[in-house]
Structures are given as structure tokens and as C-alpha cells.
Amino acid sequence: MSNDYQSFLKGISSFVPKERIYTDELRLLAWGTDAGFYRLIPKIVVRSVDEQEISHMLLLADQLNLPVTFRAAGTSLSGQSISDSILIVAGKNWEKYSISSDYNTITLQPGLIGERVNQILKPFGRKFAPDPASVKSAMVGGIVMNNASGMNCGTHENSDKMLLSVRIVLADGTILDTGDDASKKEFVRKKPDFIKAVETLRDQVRNNVQLSERIRHKYSIKNVTGLNILPFIEHDDPFEIITHLMVGSEGTLAFLSECTMKTGLDYPYHASAMLYFNDIKEACRAVVAMKKGPVAGAELLDSKSLESVNDPTGKGLTAVLTETMANTKEELEKQIKEIKAILEPFDTYTPVHFTDQESEYSQYWNIRSGIFPSVGGMRELGTTTLIEDVAFHIENLPEATADLQALLAKHGYPDACIYGHALEGNYHFIINQAFDTPEKVQKYENLMSEVKNLVVDKYDGSLKAEHGTGRNMAPFVKYEWGEEAFAVMKAVKHLFDPKNLINPGVIFNDDPECHIKNFKPLPLTNVHVDKCIECGFCEVNCLTCGFTLSSRQRIVIRREISRLKKSGEDNDRLETLEKQYKYLGDQTCAGDGLCSMSCPMGINVGDLTHDIRQEHLPAGSLGYKIGDFAANHFSGMKSMLRPVLSLANGAHTILGTKNMSSLTKGIRYISMDNFPLWTPAMPKAYYPHKISQKSEPLKVVYFPSCLNQMMGTAKDTPDPTPLVDKTVLLLQKAGYEVIFPKEMDKLCCGTIWESKGMMDIADRKSAELEEALFAASKQGAYPVLCDQSPCLHRMRNVMTKVKLYEPVEFIYTFLRDKLEFTPVDKPVSIHVTCSTQKMGLRNQIIALAELCSTKVIVPEEVGCCGFAGDKGFTRPEVNTYALRKLKPQLEKAGVEVGYSNSRTCEIGLTTNSGIPYISIVYLVDQCTKPKI
């Protein structure tokens, strides 16, 4: 690292804590990766928290002439958020917002995820208008600064149209709020020449009639190629111009610390139709006609797109997925009739049919959203999936679409798909491409050269419609816009960033071959993750994202480790990455699999983690032998642990919570974190005993999880009854006879061993349990209940002989009609465990809670709790980080008790929330009595 970078590090260390400054090999590589197909490795990564830090860092970088790049979620596709210099991350620390009293505007920091903004606005009938396909993962900063858009926002509700004001930090550290009069006045006082330059550019553009008309024409369709120069003809006030110059600037002009935007109307009524056509030109002509009607969106899917998702109707056809929205049912029906009338002259393969039933039209949209993952999943391993986006003027759509289709075939991409926002003339085309030989790079370059000629020369369209210019199209900005417009863009860049230090190489790049350099390698590493395209969609569900590594970053590092092992080129770096990965990648991975729920291809990084752990515990190793011994003597292990729990509970009673906490934290510190953390939520021991019951016609086999066979309740739990006893009482209340499997104390589902990577032992224990449950249930005649959601999830994955239910599902399915519910008039909190979500029972646990309470709180942005079996004891920092947003929400709502369906999760929830969390079985028992 050069002296200048050393000086930068020394300078920022006075105001940025070292835990938010990364210079290690592993995290530089991890953060040097975004969703695009390029990679640069930064020299320094800083996790920023506020604009004062940004201001100080930019000022210091300016003094040292060091380039700086900003990044939020890293879902951009064209190389906008990577750097080989200083990378400043503005993600999870930038999540504040405020809504106006009429809900028509919202002020946002850049780290808020777009879908989160929609969740915030939904209760008020409003929405975040920009709607990129990545809205569930992309953050506001990236959406606005890329002018990202999607299916319905078009050019009428994109960021440029919805933006009202911004707070920005300029290259020299100056902070400007264009929505604050005092800030603007101070800016004019300090930088009068800056304002004068903006006004001069405005007047130059407006006085050039030909250029002004060109700008209007180019922005009449989606266009994000180059800087956004539309503000010079749309706004008079220089601060309005500055505000809108930020949109689509891709972090090349300033840092966006806050923006205020108009909200969009979230229409309550929707209807969709999947229209099929024999010919792609006919489909496009229908879209052109529908453009004049009440159509909110029209998504074209060519035959290859339909083939990729196995559409049963669309073989050899082209489809147009059409949507209309309205305020009332009557208005919706009127619009449907109008659209049908527009479509009458066109030859559709099947009759036009609109549905306003969400259960039906959601299937259409699942087809649309399934194209990208399907194509990506079918690609040859080691290649990457590239998505390009272009736009044509609507009148050129039929011919341009056919030409684009022919062009892709000509260059040897027979499986390329064309799909996208046809109503806006905006298409994506997907190709699977490798860059590991000069010939393959040349093939891609030849394609892009002809795409440039087709889009620009023949149709005067947009080379980039919504994904941002980035490095991929930087060489072609002048080609698309011409000398005069490009000169305006360059003047804007020089005004804001005279030293070219902010995100250099993006939008403006003097290297004509920058788009065919610095390709990201995608070597094979593990069968469970080899299909990953590093899009980052998984990160919204990864609990350690922003703490150690995200699921995407774990794959990035494992790929590099595999590459280095295969090439043998740098053994020192390989050793460093493997050493650093042990804690950051392995020990802090919860292995919960929630990442798979937002991954387009369902990739579960937990499977990768289990495989790595298995590699480190081969048969015959000491760790494996200990695990095998525990499995073979499981009853004895339980008997040994119960006195330990009793001893801890006794010490807690004698010493008190404060002294007990201090003592155990001291022991943990001395042992260098090798001693498990004790918390006041630790339960006392449970000793199984014979439970009296009478014979009933309704029977259920109840398998209490290993934990609940050992653990009773914690010291201050509202109901001291152990869960096993409470579950039996509830079942008996509903008229069930409870059957326990024989030799239950020896049985286990295998989850303990699975989490440690000892898969063969886990499967052996599962098989033992299945045979015992099969016998107890009279060969599957009776349902089987397990009281621990994570255990039940594994049992479902590996057992086929018995009908398995977790508590919520069993109560909701079998007990609801046998009990009379009287809801309590106080708020309760529900924690939806990872396994509950993966089994599709999220709505059911909430519905059950709503039978029991008049006010059910499901805390927002609290996913996996991070306890992960025993990780809450051995790595409690993961649990604390995962639940960092829980306690304030509970306090605000006045919640006194929380409920879930996993004993270990409840320990961590209790520890980090300040209130007791117990099984939802207790809530149901409290609120019910037998129906007479």
C-alpha cells in the first residue's frame, strides 16, 4: 500500500473506528464484488455511518488525490460500484426515513431497501414509485443514482420524475441540502462560481435549439446512458438542476446522503392477462396499440424466455403479460373492456382473458420473474449470465425487436432470451458468456459492437435503458449522444469533480476497451453454489450481511480459495484467506438457509457451510469421534446436561443476575470465547416424568425435541410449566390422547450433527427416529407432532413414512375447531423462525396468534435470530447483531411477552429483547377452553 493510502488510513482512524475499516485480504475481495461481471479489488473499504464521516473522508481523499467509489447494496450490473482504490459503503447504517403528514412525500437515506420503503408506505395506500426488478434487494441510493426503473414506472414515475430534493456531499467535503433554504443560501455564499456555472450550462443548452430537441427526444424513452442532462431544459432554478443531475449519475458527481421523493399511488385493484402471439412482430404491434390504452405494464416474453420457464402454452410463441390497475372494481372492469377492444384486430393464439384474482395473476408474474433465474440456472457452469438492456422508440418496436433477435442468433447466442418492458420499448436480453479465452472475449465484443450500431445508428435508441452506464457502456456514451451533448456531460463532471476522483472510469472512461477488461472469474467451488451469479439478492435475508460476511460474499471467497488451490499461484494468499474465512465465513454463518428464499435460483449457502464443516471433521478425527460417541450415548448425554442446567440455575438464584452475568462473562473472556455464554434466559432442567391421561378416540404421537426433553422454563418465565407438560395439557384439552415414542430419550432428529457437518451421523439419527415414530403412530395412522420448528423442518426433509406437524400447524389444523378462543386484549410479539418461513407457515403462525390476541406485533426487519442451535452460546455476537432492531419495536408497542416455536431461538430472543419469549403453545393454552 502506497504512502498516500497509508496517510488516508491514518487520517480516517481519528474519526472512524477500526472495526469499520477493512484492509484485510478477505474483506477487500468480498466487498470488491458486485452483481456485475467485472471485478476490481479495493485497497481500503470503509463502512460509513453519517455524512460527517463522508465529508471528512472526501476532503482527505481530495487532499491526497485518491479516487473514491460509493456503494450501497451492490446489485448494479454494469460495474458501477467497484473500485481498485477506496470503497465507501453506505448500506445498513443508512436506514432512516420520515414521511410527510399527507403521505405524499418520503425522505430516505440511501441504505433503505426499495421493498422496505414499499412496506413502510403500504398502510397509507402509497408506494415507492421506481420499481426495478431488484427492488427487494436494491437500496434507495443505488436506485436513485442509477435511475433504476422497472415494469410500471416507465419515464413518468422514475426517480427523476419523483425526486424533490437531495442532501449531497461534494468532492471537497461540502454538504448541500437542496430542500433547505439555509443550506442553499450558505452554498451560494461559499460557492457562487458553482451556481453561476450551472446557470451558464443551462443557458447554453437552452440556446442550442437542436441540442435541446435532441435531449427531449432521447429522454422520451428510458435512457440512462451518460449523465442525466434533461434537468437543463426541465428546470430553471440551479438547485433544482443540481437535484436532478444526481439521478443516474452513478456516484460520479457526489455522495447522496438523503433524498426526498414523491410517493406513488398503490392501486387497490389489479388485473392481468397473458396474451400469446404466433409472431413476435405481431406481439409488438399489439403493444404499440395498447400504449394508448389504460395499460400499466406490458412485458414481452419471447419464445426462448417461455421455453426457459417451461410455459405449457407458449412453445414457439411470443407472450405479452399485460396489467391494468384501478381505484375501484367498476373502473377496473371498464379498463379491461377498453383493452380488449384495442386487441380485437390482433391475432392472439388464445382468447384474451383478464383475471383480477391474485391467486391466478400471480402465477403469470411468477413466470415473468422466473426467466432470469431459469436461464442463469441452465448456463454452463463457469460462465456468467449477462443481462443487457436497450430501449427503442415505441413506433420502432416491431422491427427493432425482430432485428435484435436476429442479431443475437447471428453472433452465436441461439439460447439468448429477449424479454422486458415492451410498453416502454425497453428490452433485456440475456446471454450466458465466459471470458476465459481471447476468442470468447472477442465474441462478446463483436456482439456489443453490432448492438451499438443497431440501437444507435438504425433506431436512435438507448444503449442503456435502466441498468446504468457503468464500465460496460462507458466507451459508447459519446457515440450515442454526439459531441455536443457529451461535452455538456463532461462539463458537469468537471464542475462537480474537477480532479476526477469520484468513481472514475464509470460513465467517463478514456480506455475504449474498458468494457472488455477486469472480468470477474467464476470458478467452480461447491455443487450447492456453483450456479450463483453473485447478484446479491440473497443478502436481504442473510443475518450476517453487514456484520461479518454475507451469503454472496461467502461464495465469492470460496470461489477464490478454489481458484488459488487449482492454480497454485499464490499459496500465501490462499493460506491467509482460509485463515480469515474460519471466523468471518464459517463460524458466524447461521446456516439457516433463508438466503435461498430470496435467491433467484434457490441457492442455500447453509449447505455450503455444512460441507465445509464436514471437510474439517472427517471420519476418524477427534471432533467426529466425539460427535459419534454422543450419538451412540445420547440418553446419557442428556442425563449429564440436566444437572449442569440445574447447577447454573442454582447459581443464578444464589448470586443474582448481575453477579452471575459478570462471573460467566469473565470466564468467557479468560477462555478467549471458548466458554459458552450464560444468559438470564437460560432455562432450568426438565426431568421427564409419567403423565397421566385417559384413552381417547383422537390420538397424536408427540415427540418432544431433545432440547425440550432437557430444558424447563427460565427463571422469570410467566408460566413455569415445562413445555412438554404444557403441550400435553393443551392436546388433552382438545380431546387427544398423547402417545410418546418408545425409548424417547435416545432419539434425535439429527439437526445437531447436521449443523456441525457430520451428515452421516445426522442421517443415522433421523432414520432411528423415523422408525420409532412409524411404530408409535401405528405405521403412520396417527399424526406426529414435534414441538421444535427447526427439528420438524429437518424431519420433513428426510422422513417419508409419517405425517409430521409442528406446533402452529397442528394447532391450526386439528385443534382450532375443538377449542373456544378468547383473545387477550394486550399486544403480543410473534417471532417467525427460519424453519417456519421455509415451510411456508409464516401466515399460519400469525393467524393463530390473531386468534389469541387483539394486537399481534411481527417486528419488522427481524429475520433469523442468529441463535442457530448453539451459536447463541458460542458466538453470541451473531445473535445480538441479528436482533439489533427488535427491542425498540417491542418497547414502542408495549409488548410484555413474545412467542415463537423454537426453544433456542426463544433463549436468544429473551436475552436481546428484555421480555420473555416462550412457545406459542402457552399463548394458545392461555386463551382457550374446550368447546362444549
Report helix, strand and coil shares of the chain as percent, to nearest 5: 50, 15, 35
pLDDT in tens, 573-619: 999 999 999 999 999 999 999 999 999 889 999 999 999 999 988 88
Supply the pLDDT for residue 871: 86
Ordered DSSP codes for 565-605: HHH-S-HHHHHHHHHHHIIIIIIT-----THHHHSTT---H
**What CATH number is associated with residue 918?**
3.40.50
| Residue whose C-alpha is closest to residue 112's, from 222, 230, 303, 261 | 261
**What CATH number is associated with residue 374?**
3.40.462.10
How far lies 178's CA from each of 94, 240, 495, 731, in Å?
19, 7, 17, 63
Phi and psi at residue 870, in whole multiples of 5°? Answer: -105, 5
Number of domains into which the chain is organized: 3
The whole-angstrom separation of Cα 553 and Cα 840 is 27
Q: Is residue 343 part of a domain?
A: yes
Q: Is residue 869 part of a domain?
A: yes
Q: Is residue 615 part of a domain?
A: no
CB-based contact 828:849 (threshold 8 Å): yes
Confidence of residue 669 (pLDDT cuts 50, 70, 90): low
Q: For residue 754, with 0-12 CB atoms within 10 Å meaning exposed, 13-18 middle and 19 or more buried, which class applies?
A: buried
How many other C-beta atoms lie within 10 A of the C-beta of residue 410?
11
* Window from 141-145, 246-250, 368-372 with minimum mean pLDDT: 368-372
Residue found under cell 390482433: 346
**What is the average per-residue pLDDT within 851-856?**
97
Amino acid, single-letter form, for residue 233: I
CB-based contact 507:477 (threshold 8 Å): yes
Residues 340 and 435 in one domain: yes
Sign, CA dihedral 72-859-584-15, equals positive
CB-based contact 34:503 (threshold 8 Å): no
199's grid cell: 446557470
Residues 407 and 347 in one domain: yes
Residues 919 and 886 in one domain: yes
Q: Is residue 474 part of a domain?
A: no
Residues 409 and 275 in one domain: yes
| Residue whose C-alpha is closest to residue 164's, from 120, 104, 112 | 104
Residues 771 and 911 in one domain: no
Q: Is residue 593 part of a domain?
A: no
pLDDT in tens, 751-790: 999 988 999 999 999 999 999 999 999 999 999 999 999 9
Supply the pLDDT for residue 59: 97
Residues 821 and 775 in one domain: no
Sign, CA dihedral 489-491-493-499, equals positive
**What is the average per-residue pLDDT within 716-721?**
91
Res 677 pLDDT > 90? no
Res 689 pLDDT > 70? yes
| Strand-pair partners of 167 | 177, 258
Ordered DSSP codes for 737-760: EEEPPTTGGG---SHHHHHTT-HH
Ordered DSSP codes for 223-286: --SSS--THHHH--SHHHHHHHHTTT-TTSS-EEEEEEEEPEE--SEEEEEEEEESSHHHHHHH
Res 373 pLDDT > 90? no
The whole-angstrom separation of Cα 579 and Cα 610 is 17
State the chain's maximal CA–CA distance in angstroms. 94
Local structure of 785: helix, strand or coil: strand
* Parallel/antiparallel/unpaired status of strands 698-703 and 736-739: parallel
Q: For residue 381, with 0-12 CB atoms within 10 Å meaning exposed, 13-18 middle and 19 or more buried, which class applies?
A: exposed
88's grid cell: 465507501
pLDDT in tens, 451-492: 999 999 999 999 999 989 999 999 999 999 999 999 999 999
Q: Which of 758, 793, 814 is where one domain is finished?
A: 814
Q: Which of 442, 467, 492 is where one domain is finished?
A: 467
The whole-angstrom separation of Cα 142 and Cα 836 is 32
Sign, CA dihedral 443-449-455-459, equals negative
Res 847 pLDDT > 80? yes
CB-based contact 225:473 (threshold 8 Å): yes
154/112: higher pLDDT: 112
Residues 764 and 647 in one domain: yes
State the residue range of the domain holding 281: 269-467
579's grid cell: 485463515
Res 651 pLDDT > 80? no
Residues 296 and 442 in one domain: yes
Q: Is residue 791 part of a domain?
A: yes
Local structure of 922: helix, strand or coil: helix
Q: E strand or H helix at 175, and its extent?
A: strand 175-177
The whole-angstrom separation of Cα 40 and Cα 552 is 16
Ordered DSSP codes for 837-905: HHTT-HHHHHHHHHHHEEEEE--TT----S-TTTHHHH-HHHHHHHTTTHHHHHHHHT---EEES-HHH
575/640: higher pLDDT: 575
Q: Is residue 55 part of a domain?
A: no
How many other C-beta atoms lie within 10 A of the C-beta of residue 645?
17
Res 284 pLDDT > 90? yes
Supply the pLDDT for residue 379: 83
The whole-angstrom separation of Cα 78 and Cα 84 is 16
Residue found under cell 412438554: 724
* Window from 80-89, 242-251, 472-481, 753-762 with minimum mean pLDDT: 753-762
The whole-angstrom separation of Cα 543 and Cα 589 is 8
Name, in order, each residue with C-beta under 8 angstroms of 527's C-beta and a sequence gap of 6 or more: none
| Residue whose C-alpha is closest to residue 294's, from 254, 256, 323 | 323
**What is the pLDDT of the chain when averaged over all its residues?**
93
Chain-centre distance for alpha carbon 4: 36
| Strand-pair partners of 113 | 139
**What is the average per-residue pLDDT within 426-455?**
93
Q: Which of 417, 442, 467 is where one domain is finished?
A: 467
Residues 834 and 788 in one domain: no
CB-based contact 228:235 (threshold 8 Å): no
Ordered DSSP codes for 129-173: S---TTTTT-BHHHHHHTT---SS-TTTSSHHHHEEEEEEE-TTS
Supply the pLDDT for residue 694: 80
Residues 697 and 746 in one domain: yes
Supply the pLDDT for residue 462: 97
Residues 791 and 711 in one domain: yes
Supply the pLDDT for residue 690: 83
Supply the pLDDT for residue 672: 66
Supply the pLDDT for residue 128: 96
Residues 751 and 824 in one domain: no
Supply the pLDDT for residue 691: 82
pLDDT in tens, 168-201: 999 999 999 999 999 999 999 999 999 999 999 9
The whole-angstrom separation of Cα 409 and Cα 417 is 10
Supply the pLDDT for residue 869: 84
| Strand-pair partners of 262 | 105
Exposure string of 419-454, with b = 16+ CB inside 10 Å and e = fewer, is: bbbbbbbbbbbbbbbbbeeeeebebbeebbeebbeb
* Window from 48-57, 78-87, 656-665 with minimum mean pLDDT: 656-665
Q: Is residue 701 part of a domain?
A: yes
The whole-angstrom separation of Cα 63 and Cα 65 is 6
Supply the pLDDT for residue 309: 86
